[in-house]
């Protein structure tokens, strides 16, 4: 479950503030001599993120309060957490849970002031999740005065306690400053977050290895982090890893594996992936040639604004019946994508 704080926080930093995207990146041109389609500006780094402050698996499997929360029994979670705090004024985990219930408005009216009070009590008792949550509220002025410097100090404390998302967000605060020490520290923080399988941190590391920020440029490590981020569901990483595989950039070349990743990203609605998959299917590289499927994905990418004259030319020999089939497929596929229904 995603924290309510995430819904109202949006982002800490605009992506553009993190530097210019890579240019001149090689993209798959499935037909010999065919020019790659325009891709637009790829994001430099993912945006900062928030997560629920409640651990996925409490350390005590018999914890009634956390167990109720995880099952969606929020009234019971509130009751058990309140009873725990009444019995023990130093129960930081129960205080953090109460803060999360108020932040999300679960079993109680949403109240960021009350949430911040509970988070602060838990933070003062050493709870890293509460420290992180309080930092997020302070960054955006929810329930507490907006104070970027104080929010960053809280993120530092949460990161020092090992909170992986705090490490990630703190790294993204450091990168726009463009200092050698700040970039190196950001890499160290991202590595800690990436080790905890935070997909956005893994993708950010891939970008930094590609651009040589805070670390020497290393295309092999770039591809390795893209692969891990892709496996963990980061959509830009899935597209860029597919490109790396198609071109053999930092990893063994495999047009078949590239096609698989393009397809996964295409079914998640990414127009670049849809365009690249259409090219692969039109040219028969990495997949058997299938002009109707190629036209289907081409239409979907075009609907998102990604035109491709090479595909227009490659598919001009389709019959009227084939074009109608592709159009029907694209219409049905667009509806499935709207509702998140995959293949």
Would you state the structure tokens that stand for residue 30, as one six-digit string?
A: 């499935």
Say how many C-beta atoms besides its own lie within 10 A of residue 146's C-beta: 12
Residues 6+ away with beta carbon under 8 Å from 324 = none
Calculate helix-pair angle for 235-247, 199-211, nearest 10 degrees.
40
Smallest CA-to-CA distance from 282 within 297, 302, 303, 301 is with 297
Q: What is the dihedral of CA 343, 242, 49, 75, to 10 degrees?
A: 20
Would you state the structure tokens that stand for residue 217, as one six-digit string?
A: 């440029």
Q: In order of start, what are the domains of the chain with their CATH numbers?
A: 64-143 (1.25.40.10), 254-343 (no CATH)
Q: How far is CA 116 from the centre of its chain?
A: 26
Model pLDDT, residue 63: 86
Greater confidence (79 vs 56) lies with 79
- CB half-sphere exposure, 337, CA atoms < 13 A: 21
Model pLDDT, residue 16: 24
Greater confidence (156 vs 8) lies with 156
166-219 tens-digit pLDDT: 999 999 999 999 998 999 999 999 999 999 999 999 999 999 999 999 999 999
Average confidence (pLDDT) over 247-264: 98
Angstrom distance (rounded) from CA 102 to CA 96: 10
277-291 tens-digit pLDDT: 999 999 999 999 999
227-250 tens-digit pLDDT: 999 999 999 999 999 999 999 999
Angstrom distance (rounded) from CA 134 to CA 138: 6
Model pLDDT, residue 342: 82
Query: What average pLDDT does the chain have?
Result: 86
Model pLDDT, residue 343: 83
Whether 18 shows a pLDDT value over 80: the answer reads no
User: Where do runs of H (alpha helix) occur along the chain?
Assistant: 4-9, 64-70, 74-87, 92-104, 112-124, 128-140, 148-160, 164-174, 180-195, 199-211, 219-231, 235-247, 255-266, 271-283, 291-303, 309-314, 320-338
Average confidence (pLDDT) over 31-41: 35
């Amino acid at each position: 479950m995603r924290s309510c704080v995430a819904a109202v926080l949006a982002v800490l930093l605009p992506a553009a503030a993190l530097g210019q995207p890579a240019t001149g990146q090689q993209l798959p041109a499935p037909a010999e001599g065919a020019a790659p389609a325009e891709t637009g500006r790829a994001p430099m780094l993912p945006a900062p993120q928030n997560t629920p402050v409640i651990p996925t698996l409490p350390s005590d499997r018999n914890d009634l309060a956390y167990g109720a929360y995880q099952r969606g029994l929020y009234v019971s979670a509130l009751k058990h957490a309140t009873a725990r705090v009444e019995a023990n004024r130093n129960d930081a985990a129960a205080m953090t849970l109460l803060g999360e219930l108020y932040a999300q408005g679960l079993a109680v009216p949403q109240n960021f002031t009350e949430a911040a009070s509970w988070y602060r009590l838990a933070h003062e008792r050493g709870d890293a999740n509460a420290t992180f949550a309080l930092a997020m509220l302070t960054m955006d002025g929810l329930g507490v005065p907006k104070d970027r410097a104080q929010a960053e100090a809280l993120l530092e404390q949460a990161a020092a306690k090992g909170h992986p998302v705090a490490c990630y967000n703190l790294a993204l605060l450091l990168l726009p400053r463009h200092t050698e020490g700040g970039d190196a520290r950001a890499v160290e923080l991202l590595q800690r977050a990436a080790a905890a399988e935070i997909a956005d941190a893994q993708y950010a590391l891939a970008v930094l290895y590609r651009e040589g920020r805070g670390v020497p440029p290393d295309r092999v490590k770039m591809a390795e982090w893209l692969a891990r981020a892709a496996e963990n569901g980061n959509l830009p990483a899935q597209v860029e890893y597919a490109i790396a595989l198609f071109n053999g950039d930092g990893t063994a070349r495999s047009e078949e594996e590239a096609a698989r990743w393009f397809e996964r990203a295409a079914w998640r609605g990414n127009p670049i992936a849809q365009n690249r998959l259409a090219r692969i299917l039109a040219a028969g590289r990495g997949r058997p040639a299938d002009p109707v499927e190629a036209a289907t994905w081409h239409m979907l990418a075009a609907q998102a604004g990604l035109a491709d004259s090479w595909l227009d030319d490659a598919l001009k020999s389709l019959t009227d019946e084939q074009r109608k089939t592709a159009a029907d497929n694209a219409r049905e596929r667009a509806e499935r994508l709207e509702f998140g229904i995959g293949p």
